Chain A
Amino acid sequence: MTLAAQARDSQVDPDPAVPALSIEDVTHSYRERRALDHVSFDVRRGAFAVLLGLNGAGKTTLFSLVTRLYAAQHGSIFVLGFNVAREPAQALSRLGVVFQARTLDLDLSVMQNLLYHASLHGIGGREAGELAEDTLGRTQMRDRAHDKARVLSGGQMRRIEIARALLHRPSLLLLDEPTVGLDVNARKSILRYVRDLVAQENIGVLWTTHLIDEVEDGDDLIILHRGRVLAKGPAGDLVASAGAANVGGAFERIIATEQSELEA
């Protein structure tokens, strides 16, 4: 039995050894098309994990399963040891999510967006206000609290979305291609911001992307291709074992090896 499964029935925050996210043998199909094929990996607490894959690799499907938009047809998903399908309240309350599409309500102010999010987690009144103020202060966005979301730049919106995802104090942060549509400076800024969070807060992060330059050697890397995990482990180790010079080279070799095995 896995650590995640052992912690399943626990009502308190599980042992620190329990992964922030545990994907166990997950398979999901859209009719005949298999989007995920026996996918398994963990995201450790306090780790920055990158789920790297080309478009159509199955990243967004996996994201939808973890966030319970769909239910996995096979396999299990645990957040801090809580089964997403069986204990959604425990699992989702420990989860912060930043979706690929912009999800701020553009007609509402920044503060109103945060308060709305707090209410969805059962946090209201003065506590919600204090958490929102605190979050805005830490993201250096307090001066924009009463601006409508629609007047923010793309990078600022992303920062607010990240702040919103952290407002209820989750232990796992999921980000689905969060830098799509941002300029180079905004991309770097967001990436650095999230990496700082990991370093300081012992929060597990799963960052999905198709941009190889967002991976650093110290990251946990999961390479997803056509719904299958082709490689996983510390990025530096994967580069070394592939005999490549960098992550980009390793990615290409691993994909090419898979391709040739399929053709053989």
Chain B
Amino acid sequence: MTSFPMANTGAPVRTRFGLRQYAICMAGIVWREGLRFLHQRERFISALVRPLVWLFIFAAGFRQVLGVSIIPPYQTYILYEVYITPGLIAMIQLFNGMQSSLSMVYDREMGNMRTLLVSPMPRWFLLSSKLVAGTAVSLLQVYAYLIIAYFWEIEPPTLWGYLTVLPALILVGLMLGSFGLLLSSLIKQLENFAGVMNFVIFPMFFASSALYPLWRVQESSPWLYHVCLANPFTHAVELIRFAFYQQLNLQALAIVLGCGIVFMAGAILAYNPAIGLSLRRSA
């Protein structure tokens, strides 16, 4: 058998990383996530079917029941389908963030996660790259949904809306992905993910402005209104809603940014070998 060239025989061991090495690493993680997404066609289809069911069935059914008055950013009466589209977009990103979380738990159980964590790159960078990868996948899903919605006459006032919504989608994707990362660090086993669905995803989605405007919630239940206001998902929806109409909701932007930073910091701390992972194993 011929020999492997080894580090101590002059081979290029990387011990100091420049921008190029960081870029290669992040590109590799995004590439792998993209490949996994393409190979899991059912994941793509279910990511599309879920919001489309809401759009075509739920919204069509409730269009006559749930009236929407003129509220910013809308300048005229709109169809209910138009109103819930930003909520459904955020839902796609919420599920994708949780799907990433699921894949982290799965990876950890199956050992794939370890191959990531033994990389010599800083752990914060590895987790950030994972986050960027998840967000990139969520963008593919969102734009696929928007293309279908376009044929249902759900579109921004001008085509620029498709572009102006992009930064909002990136921010929301990063924020929800960070939240998923944080959750994945707290889940010990894959089976516990069902609990996440019941106790995190559904409450986040329903206690928000995704399906109904907050003034309606306030009329029927003041305390629920305050819960919705405290829910970062509400602000994610509003950020997307305004951006789709080429407007900036500063309050929503600040909350999405702030929550994203807090969630990411929590995830990095939780995946710190000296703090998070070790303590969890001890529990």
Residues of chain B lying within 8 A (CB to CB) of residue A11? 15-16
From the candidates B16, B28, B119, name the one contacting A115 in the complex (CB within 8 A): B28
Q: Determine whether A110 belongs to the interface, using a CB cutoff of 8 Å to chain B.
A: no
Contact A71 B11 (CB under 8 A): no
Contact A116 B28 (CB under 8 A): yes
Q: Which of A29-83 touch B at CB < 8 Å?
A: 29-31, 45, 67-71, 73
Please tell me which stretch of A1-9, A101-109, A179-187, A208-216 contacts chain B, meaning at least 4 of its Cβ atoms lie within 8 angstroms of it: A101-109
Q: Which of B95-128 touch A at CB < 8 Å?
A: 110-112, 114-122, 126
Contact B117 A123 (CB under 8 A): no
Q: Determine whether A156 belongs to the interface, using a CB cutoff of 8 Å to chain B.
A: no
- Given A95-B118, A171-B7, A201-B4, verify A30-B282 contact (CB < 8 Å): yes
Contact A119 B7 (CB under 8 A): no
Contact B112 A103 (CB under 8 A): yes
Contact A200 B1 (CB under 8 A): yes
Q: Determine whether A145 belongs to the interface, using a CB cutoff of 8 Å to chain B.
A: no
Residues of chain B lying within 8 A (CB to CB) of residue A112? 32, 35
Contact A30 B119 (CB under 8 A): no
In angstroms, Cα B17 to Cα A169, docked, is: 16
Contact A89 B35 (CB under 8 A): no
Residues of chain A lying within 8 A (CB to CB) of residue B28? 115-116, 118-120, 124
Residues of chain B lying within 8 A (CB to CB) of residue A121? 14, 25, 119-120
Other than A45-B8, A105-B36, A169-B4, give 12 A-B pairs with Cβ distance below 8 A: A13-B7, A13-B8, A93-B15, A97-B118, A103-B111, A108-B36, A125-B24, A127-B12, A168-B13, A169-B5, A197-B4, A202-B9
Contact B115 A103 (CB under 8 A): yes
In angstroms, Cα B13 to Cα A88, docked, is: 14
Residues of chain B lying within 8 A (CB to CB) of residue A107? 35-36, 39-40
Q: Mark A115-145, 1 if CB is under 8 A from B, else 0.
A: 1111111111101000000010010000000
In angstroms, Cα B1 to Cα A16, docked, is: 24
Contact A70 B7 (CB under 8 A): no
Most chain B CB inside 10 Å of its own CB: which residue of A89, A112, A115, A166: A89
17 contacts between A and B (CB under 8 A): A13-B7, A68-B117, A69-B117, A71-B273, A89-B121, A103-B111, A108-B35, A108-B39, A120-B25, A124-B27, A138-B2, A169-B11, A171-B13, A200-B4, A202-B6, A202-B8, A202-B9
In angstroms, Cα B112 to Cα A150, docked, is: 14
Q: Determine whether A196 belongs to the interface, using a CB cutoff of 8 Å to chain B.
A: yes
In angstroms, Cα B21 to Cα A7, docked, is: 25
Contact B121 A69 (CB under 8 A): no
Q: Determine whether A27 belongs to the interface, using a CB cutoff of 8 Å to chain B.
A: no
Most chain A CB inside 10 Å of its own CB: which residue of B6, B277, B281: B6
Contact A119 B13 (CB under 8 A): no
Contact A101 B119 (CB under 8 A): no
Prevailing SS type, chain A contact patch: loop
Q: Determine whether B31 belongs to the interface, using a CB cutoff of 8 Å to chain A.
A: yes
In angstroms, Cα B126 to Cα A119, docked, is: 11
Contact B6 A122 (CB under 8 A): no
In angstroms, Cα B282 to Cα A102, docked, is: 24
Contact B39 A119 (CB under 8 A): no
From the candidates B32, B116, B117, B119, name the one contacting A108 in the complex (CB within 8 A): B32
Q: Name the residue of chain B whose CB is nearest to the CB of A125.
A: B24
- Given A89-B15, A92-B118, A99-B111, verify A169-B1 contact (CB < 8 Å): no
Residues of chain A lying within 8 A (CB to CB) of residue B112? 103, 105
Q: Name the residue of chain B whose CB is nearest to the CB of A100.
A: B111
Q: Determine whether B278 belongs to the interface, using a CB cutoff of 8 Å to chain A.
A: yes
Residues of chain B lying within 8 A (CB to CB) of residue A105? 32, 36, 112
From the candidates A119, A127, A135, A203, name the one contacting B6 in the complex (CB within 8 A): A203
Which 3 residue pairs across A and B have the least CB separation, nearest first?
A119-B28, A122-B21, A101-B111
Q: Determine whether B158 belongs to the interface, using a CB cutoff of 8 Å to chain A.
A: no
Q: Name the residue of chain A whose CB is nearest to the CB of B109.
A: A101
Contact B116 A169 (CB under 8 A): no
In angstroms, Cα B13 to Cα A15, docked, is: 16
In angstroms, Cα B281 to Cα A68, docked, is: 14
Q: Determine whether A22 belongs to the interface, using a CB cutoff of 8 Å to chain B.
A: no
Q: Mark B26-50, 1 if CB is under 8 A from A, else 0.
A: 0111011001100110000000000
Q: Determine whether B3 belongs to the interface, using a CB cutoff of 8 Å to chain A.
A: yes
Residues of chain A lying within 8 A (CB to CB) of residue B21? 122-123
Q: Determine whether B22 belongs to the interface, using a CB cutoff of 8 Å to chain A.
A: yes
